[in-house]
């Protein structure tokens, strides 16, 4: 990848201290961007940002706190001066039978996976509209495209956020803003840590998991297309992944 493809641009990545968010941020920095790293884990943020100097800017925010969530855009602008790219990546996972899920956990998942994404996009749009340009990419999931029977709560949240991306995209393109979703299959992150042990073991043994860096590579491809082209949504999975 061209190391200057995103030179001068500023990206904001949520859930940036680990997993897909961290890989995404690393790819963006590698392409010349500065990245505001948003996460609630201050210690992890400091650790991952330290080797990158001014290219990674830590911003501790608990997105489930409404007031803190509302501060994301103004604080990012205060730190970096502009926002060219928003990668709305932070999310939670619940798998298993619905009857076994805690209702407070359902509330938290829907808040972070759906409402926070909507609020972050809502808050960044005036800045991007004023500038007449911007890119918004939301981390969705393969579960948004298939009614996955072992994760009804998580899959439903991703179906909702995918609908949000594709409807809002049609409102904002006239302002020079591209909006898209990236929908990976299972990725080797902490998000799948609560998979049943036998399911996780079998997935690892069969090579049915993606690496975060593979998702980040596709994200970078989406962002570096000519401005007249929108990669609207990408579904990616291991070649031997069998639904």
- Write out the catalytic residue numbers: 154
* Residue 101: strand, helix, or coil: coil
Beta bridge partners of 85: 11, 135
Rounded to the nearest 10°, the torsion over CA 90, 96, 102, 107 is 30
**Cα gap 82→74, rounded to integer Å:** 10
Q: Which residues of 4-21 are buried (b: 16+ CB within 10 A; e: fewer)?
A: eebeebbbbbbbbbbbbb
Q: Which two tokens stand for residue 89?
A: 């990546």
Chain-centre distance for alpha carbon 140: 7
Q: Are 9 and 84 in contact (CB under 8 A)?
A: yes
């Amino acid at each position: 990848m061209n190391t200057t493809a995103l030179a001068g641009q500023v990206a904001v990545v949520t859930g940036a201290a680990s997993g897909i968010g961290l890989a995404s941020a690393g790819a963006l920095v590698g392409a010349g961007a500065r990245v505001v790293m948003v996460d609630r884990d201050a210690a992890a943020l400091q650790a991952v940002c330290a080797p990158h100097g001014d290219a990674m800017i830590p911003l501790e925010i608990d997105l489930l706190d409404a007031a803190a969530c509302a501060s994301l855009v103004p604080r990012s602008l205060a730190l970096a001066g502009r926002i060219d790219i928003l990668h709305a990546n932070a999310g939670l996972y619940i798998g298993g039978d619905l009857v076994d899920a805690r209702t407070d956990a359902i509330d938290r998942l829907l808040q972070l996976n759906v409402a926070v994404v909507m609020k972050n996009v809502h808050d960044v749009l005036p800045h991007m509209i004023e500038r007449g340009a911007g890119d918004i990419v939301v981390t969705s999931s393969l579960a948004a495209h298939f009614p996955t029977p072992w994760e009804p709560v998580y899959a439903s949240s991703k179906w909702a956020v995918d609908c949000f991306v594709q409807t809002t995209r049609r409102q904002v393109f006239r302002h020079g803003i591209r909006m898209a979703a990236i929908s990976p299959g299972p990725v080797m992150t902490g998000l799948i840590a609560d998979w049943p042990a036998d399911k996780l073991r079998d997935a690892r043994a069969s090579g049915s998991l993606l690496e975060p860096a593979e998702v980040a590579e596709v994200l970078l491809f989406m962002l570096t297309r000519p401005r007249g082209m929108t990669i609207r949504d990408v579904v990616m999975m291991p070649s031997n992944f069998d639904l």
